Structure 1
Amino acid sequence: MNPIRHEDYHPIERPTYQQELDEVVQQVARRTHASVERQGVGRAVRTAHGKTYGLLKATVTVGDNTGFYRQGIFARPAVYDAVVRYSNGLGHHRPDHQLGAACGMGVKLFGVPGPSLLDDERDSGTFDLNLINNEVFFANTAYDYMVIEDLFAELPEALVNPARRKTWMAEFLTRRGTLTDPGSWLWDELLAMLSFTTVPRRNLLSYTYNSMGAFRYGDHIAKIRTVPTAASLSALTHQIVDVRADNEAFRHTLVAEAAERDHSFELQVQLNTDLARMPVDNTSVKWPEDLSPWVTVARVDLPRQDIGGDDNLAAADTTSITPWRSREEHRPLGEIQRVRQEVYRRSSIERHRANGQDRREPAGSAELVG
């Protein structure tokens, strides 16, 4: 089955979108500033991916791709300097046993040709991949995000407390009572949210990390993921992440693995071949692999390195990752992706301002990690 052409996808345009987006952005700005006091770590914390586990030097090598996969920055062989940031998905800075296992892998490439989609850094040369260790996401519109962001801030306590769990899920399902018709309830989104609670606690280098949202892939449409290579996965020696015995188990495991050996991932894409069964505007639905397999288009290599110092965490904290730090050939698609464009930008601006940090894109990995 041939992949869908990019121009055959038509974005949904809702008349209330801009008003809802403005409220979401203001909400995120307020929560970012409030996090200085709320999180108790002496600085503003991200409203999502608040706790950093480490920043690693990396190399991304694009393969000699063929056919439909020869698109955009993957159209010809290339080698890019890069960094990889690991983090927890929640917007809290707490001991690991008080957080879930939803974790992110942010990849930033340097020296990528072409103008960035971000207007205030068109010539930065950086290109980001924003990935998480789950296949689906739990919000699909600006309005969903506006309501769910408040509920998201209650996690993980809301799902652990029996008295709150039932009412929390009801509020999520009905957008806090605004969806009165059961046929419009957010079942896909609720199931996607609950799927994050089933992610096991494992070595951060053992997960598959997904974009969840769709992107333009040159002439086509795709999702992106990273998968540990078989050799890298089999070489891991710190399999147990015991958050009860160690409040910083994820970081300490990552630091140990990074210091002992090289690690590698396959960077893969899944092309869209059926807009009905592989929806762009519903990120809560997994794209079936029997319709389109994942195909490797590049490799991410992490050389052996020491990331154990506090300077590493400081560098990771100032590093921003957004799916919109991209190129036109890989423009994010779908309403929730459009929401991310301004939300991520504003969140980064407000956080850097509150923390007195210089907000600029580095020219290479050497500016961030040794």
Structure 2
Amino acid sequence: MPAKTSFIRYSDDVETRPAGEDDTIAEIIATMTSESRKVADREGHTVRASHAKANAFLKGELRVLDGLPPELRQGLFAEARTYPVVVRMAQGPGEHLPDSVSTHRGMAIKVLDARGPKIDGHAEDTQDFVLATGPVFPNPDAAKFLGAIKGIEKHAGKDDALKAAVSSVALQLDKVVTAVKGDHSPLLDFFGHTPRHPLTDTYYSQAALRYGDHVAKISAVPVSPGQAALGDAPMDTSGRPDAFRDATAAYFGDEGAEFEIRVQLCTDLETMPVEDASVRWPEDESPYRAVARLVLPRQDALGEARRAYVTERLSFRPAHSLAAHRPLGSLMRARLATYPALAAYRQKQNGAEGIEPTSLDQIPD
């Protein structure tokens, strides 16, 4: 970083809540609940309204790096220590689709023994980071997301072949955009993500969060030699509806994976807005910098007991947060309300009791 770099100090003023946002969020919850009902009618079971199809359920460690500079030594990362974590890797849609429908992906990290003041409504010692492929979200705020999710809700539970065709077209168009502009289209990548191995993707918070005294975004970047050896070429999903899941489980049957957790600190609220999640923060002004290693050892990533426990009883949500990492901006405010409502609906429909674990021993092997 340049010696004179100035980082934006966190204060309540970094957020600006528009009029009518609560009504918008209520409509998002209603729309996504309707989507869940439609999918349940087809699948016979209520699944997550997003990231329904998991590729792996993992136990591991988050190892905070030693010797971080003061601006990075914040919140969960204030001291060099190791936290136990539960990780869920999944495809993006809120239904189980064949992998010929290659859309955005998610990585949800639940950090245990995360002590300190929490945001309102959260009491347990956990910190969740909900990440996805793509450095930005396709929609800037809650209002625009509502418009997008209404379109998705209309087609929930319908023809897989149509969704595969949309995914394929989006992927091809994104290749053209990337060739011309040198970067992916967030919207096209959302619907037509390159079907590479899930362990070779980088995952992002996309929207902003508090980072102790500062404001930041977070990413998880694959760094192990085994992951590098996988390459980034597209996988052949022809006739393989669970190609991504099978490949991820096979990898963890042989060796472990590591992701470097990196933080991009906000230096300018004009070029790095908090309220617009669709704006990419310029990395030449503030690069992502390493703060920790996410270490996921060799293990059975799809064991039935673990799958049932994580799928039915756990929820990963931005609202599971230390005050030091409070989610920020319109999209995150929508998530703070939407995730708990949808999790409660899913667990009620399935007769499952939600739980926040306090130890990895509670997670089945």
The question of a shared fold, defined as TM-score above 0.5 by the shorter chain, is answered with yes
Q: Match for 1:275 among 269, 288, 293?
A: 269
Partner of 1:168: none
Please give the residue correspondences for 1:72-221 in structure 2 after superposition, counting only pairs within 5 Å: 72-97=75-100, 99-117=101-119, 119=121, 121-122=122-123, 124-153=124-153, 154=155, 157=162, 160=165, 191-221=185-215
Give the distance between the partners of 1:229 and 1:369, measured in 2 at CA: 27
| Aligned with residue 308 of structure 2, among 277, 302, 314 | 314
| Distance across 2 between alignment mates of 1:237 and 1:212 | 24
Structure 2 partner of 1:231: 225
Cα displacement (A) at 1:159 = 8.7
Q: Distance in 2 between matches of 1:115 and 1:302?
A: 27
Deviation at 1:239, TM superposition (A): 6.8
TM-score, length-scaled by structure 2: 0.86
Change (3 A) 1:198 1:247: closer
Separation in structure 2 between the aligned mates of residue 269 and residue 160 of structure 1, nearest angstrom: 36
Paired residues of 2:8 and 2:268 also in contact (CA < 8 A): yes
Q: 1:141 to 1:237 in 2, by over 3 A?
A: closer
Greater displacement, 233-242 / 147-156: 233-242
Which residue of the partner structure matches residue 179 of structure 2?
none
Q: Deviations over 1:290-332 (max 9, x none)?
A: 0001110011001111124333332331221112211111111
Match in the other structure for 1:32: 36
CA distance in 1, matches of 2:164, 2:151: 11
Shift of 1:227: 0.5
In structure 1, stretches of 5+ residues that fail to align are 166-189
Counterpart of 1:340 in structure 2: which amino acid?
A: R
Q: Distance in 1 between matches of 2:334 and 2:186?
A: 18
Give the distance between the partners of 1:258 and 1:88, measured in 2 at CA. Answer: 18
Distance 1:60 1:330 in 2: 16
| Aligned residue runs from structure 1 range 34-53, under 5 A | 34-38=38-42, 40=43, 42-53=44-55
CA offset digits 1:323-361 (Å, max 9, x no partner): 221111111110110000110000100001101111111
Read off the aligned partner of 1:244 and give its amino acid letter: S
CA contact (8 A) 1:116 1:126 kept: no
Q: In the alignment, what sits opposite 1:299?
A: 293
Q: Does the 8 Å contact 1:238/1:253 carry over to 2? A: no
Deviation at 1:208, TM superposition (A): 0.5
Distance in 2 between residues matched to 1:333 and 1:229, nearest whole Å:
28
| SS at structure 1 position matched to 2:37 | helix
Amino acid corresponding to residue 24 of structure 2 in structure 1: E
Q: Is the 8 A contact 1:33 1:350 kept in 2?
A: no
Aligned partner letter, 1:101:
T
Cα distance change, pair 220–360 in 1 and its aligned pair in 2 (3 A): same
Q: Could you tell me how far apart the structure 2 residues matched to 1:201 and 1:290 are?
A: 29
The 8 Å contact of residues 236 and 257 in structure 1, kept in 2 or not, is answered as no
Distance 1:159 1:229 in 2: 31
Q: How far apart in 1 are the matches of 2:164 and 2:224?
A: 35
Secondary structure of 1:96's partner? coil
- With 318-327 and 203-212 compared, the bigger mean Cα shift is at 318-327
Mean Cα displacement is larger for which, 23-32 or 82-91? 23-32
Distance 1:321 1:213 in 2: 16
Q: 1:342 to 1:87 in 2, by over 3 A?
A: same
2:112, 2:253 → 1: CA distance? 23
Structure 1 residue 271 displacement after superposition: 0.4
Decide which of 352, 358, 365 is 1:363's aligned counterpart. Answer: 358
Kept after mapping to 1: 8 A contact 2:102/2:192: no
SS of equivalent residue, structure 1 residue 69: coil
Q: Deviations over 1:86-116 (max 9, x none)?
A: 111111212211x223111111111110243
Who is 1:185 aligned against?
A: none
1:147-198 CA-to-partner distances (Å, cap 9, x unmatched) read 2112134388469369x99xxxxxxxxxxxxxxxxxxxxxxxx953123245
Equivalents in 2 of 1:118, 1:303: separation in Å?
A: 34
**Could you tell me whether the CA contact under 8 Å between 2:194 and 2:234 is conserved in 1?**
no
Q: Tell me how far apart the structure 2 counterparts of residues 216 and 107 of structure 1 sit (CA, whole Å).
A: 17
Q: Which residue of 2 aligns with 1:183?
A: none
RMSD between aligned residues? 2.4
TM-score, normalised with respect to structure 1: 0.85
Aligned-pair CA distance for 1:240: 6.1
Q: Percent identity?
A: 32
1:265-310 deviations in whole A, cap 9, x for unaligned? 1000000111111111111111111000111001100111112433
Q: Contact between 1:32 and 1:47, CA under 8 Å: does it hold in 2? A: yes
SS at match of 1:15: coil
Closer, same or farther: CA 49–289 of 1 in aligned 2, 3 Å = same
Write out per-residue CA displacement over residues 45-85 of structure 1, whole angstroms, 9 at most, x where no aligned residue. Answer: 12211111120111001112222111111111111111110
- d(CA) in 1 for partners of 2:12, 2:94: 37
In structure 1, what is the Cα distance between the partners aligned to 2:228 and 2:19?
A: 51
- Residues 1:18 and 2:22 are matched in the alignment: yes
Return the offset for 1:16: 1.1
SS at match of 1:54: strand
Q: Do 2:14 and 2:274's aligned partners in 1 also have CA atoms closer than 8 Å?
A: no
